[in-house]
């Protein structure tokens, strides 16, 4: 089994594949298009691998718009995942998926970063590049919402019930200013976490809301009619990704996050999804314990990286100029 050729697939062809959505939202065109809308440095660039046995496998990716003809691919930026798709948009078999990703890592462009979706079979990629291990927290919804909630820690479940009895209500946001309200809450939370700004821009959230349709949702936990906690949900065919969360600290004693997660688990199960992905808690042990209390299991995954020596030299020089305050190309 050999990959004969690697090509960038046009975005419209990728969109046709999305009639059968990828299992994780970050491997779908809407994610790549939103990244490009919010940052001119990005362009959608799914990579199609043509095999000698006739198979055609597509690995969703984004290309950085770099000067001097450099080609740098990421599958996908901002901690996103990718998968290997067959010609009908379904998950490719493990053998073709691994071979496609290995070929892309070895041969596509001057720099490649790939993060296979943690719940896919494409986890046996073997490549002599840089491998960085990560961990995410995932609730298995195979038995439905009731089974998932039964595995939740009793204290966590009681706190969710207390929040509801105190008047906390959780629902998908329908207000036209939902992005503004949520991002303001996120900025407040970022300062509390010791960050000057959130890890993603408001422009990206706006683009996601515009591009994602019903597969991007902002949820709020409200008290006396005012949002006190919230989150952004990204939906693939198999996964609900709780991509961003925020809370107004003065309302923490009402336990809105507990109530919100219970509501989101129920919503994901109603969609028929298998996984409720709470994301990484690396460096945040308190957050990791909270997710464990929700019944989430730790799932390890790997980000693979390869870059050519010349590109590494260029990138290092660019970083030095940036630190020195010199203008960049």
Inter-residue contact 50 to 3 (CB < 8 Å) = yes
Separation of alpha carbons 32 and 4, rounded Å: 26
Position 251 pLDDT exceeds 80: yes
What does pTM read for this prediction? 0.93
pLDDT digits (tens, 9 = 90+) for 17-61: 999 999 999 999 999 999 999 999 999 999 999 999 999 999 999
125: pLDDT confidence band, cut at 50, 70 and 90?
low
Separation of alpha carbons 242 and 238, rounded Å: 13
pLDDT digits (tens, 9 = 90+) for 88-115: 999 999 999 999 999 999 999 999 999 9
123: pLDDT confidence band, cut at 50, 70 and 90?
low
295: pLDDT confidence band, cut at 50, 70 and 90?
very high
Separation of alpha carbons 122 and 126, rounded Å: 10
CA distances from 137 to 118, 238, 278, 288 (A): 10, 15, 5, 8
**Among 245, 329, 250, residue whose Cα is nearest residue 291:** 245
- Helical segments of 108-227, H only: 145-150, 154-165, 178-192, 202-212
pLDDT digits (tens, 9 = 90+) for 182-192: 999 999 999 98
Instruction: Please give the radius of gyration of the chain, using alpha carbons only, rounded to the nearest integer.
Output: 21
Q: Edge to edge, what strands does the sheet with 3-8 contain?
A: 3-8, 47-51, 56-59
**Among 51, 48, 12, residue whose Cα is nearest residue 32:** 12
11: pLDDT confidence band, cut at 50, 70 and 90?
very high
């Amino acid at each position: 089994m050999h990959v004969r050729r690697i090509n960038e697939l046009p975005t419209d062809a990728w969109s046709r594949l999305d009639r059968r959505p990828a299992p994780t939202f970050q491997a779908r065109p809407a994610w790549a298009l939103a990244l490009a809308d919010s940052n001119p440095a990005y362009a959608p660039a799914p990579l199609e691998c043509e095999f000698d046995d006739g198979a055609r496998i597509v690995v969703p990716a984004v290309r950085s718009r770099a000067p001097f003809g450099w080609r740098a691919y990421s599958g996908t930026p901002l901690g996103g995942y990718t998968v290997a798709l067959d010609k009908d948009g379904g998950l490719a078999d493990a053998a073709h998926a691994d071979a496609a990703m290995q070929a892309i890592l070895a041969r596509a462009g001057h720099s490649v970063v790939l993060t296979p979706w943690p719940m896919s079979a494409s986890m046996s990629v073997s490549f002599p590049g840089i491998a960085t291990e990560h961990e995410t927290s995932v609730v298995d919804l195979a038995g439905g919402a009731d089974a998932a909630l039964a595995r939740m820690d009793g204290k966590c479940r009681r706190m969710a019930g207390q929040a509801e009895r105190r008047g906390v209500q959780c629902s998908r946001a329908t207000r036209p200013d939902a992005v503004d309200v949520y991002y303001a809450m996120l900025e407040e939370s970022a300062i509390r976490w010791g960050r000057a700004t959130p890890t993603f821009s408001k422009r990206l959230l706006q683009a996601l809301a515009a591009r994602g349709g019903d597969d991007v949702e902002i949820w709020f936990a409200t008290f006396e009619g005012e949002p006190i906690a919230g989150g952004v949900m990204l939906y693939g065919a198999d996964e609900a990704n709780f991509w961003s969360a925020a809370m107004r600290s003065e309302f923490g004693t009402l336990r809105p996050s507990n109530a919100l997660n219970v509501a989101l688990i129920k919503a994901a199960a109603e969609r028929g999804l298998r996984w409720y992905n709470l994301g990484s808690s690396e460096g945040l042990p308190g957050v990791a314990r909270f997710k464990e209390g929700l019944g989430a299991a730790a799932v390890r995954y790997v980000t693979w990286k390869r870059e050519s020596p010349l590109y590494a030299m260029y990138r290092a020089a660019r970083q030095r100029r940036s630190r020195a305050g010199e203008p960049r190309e």
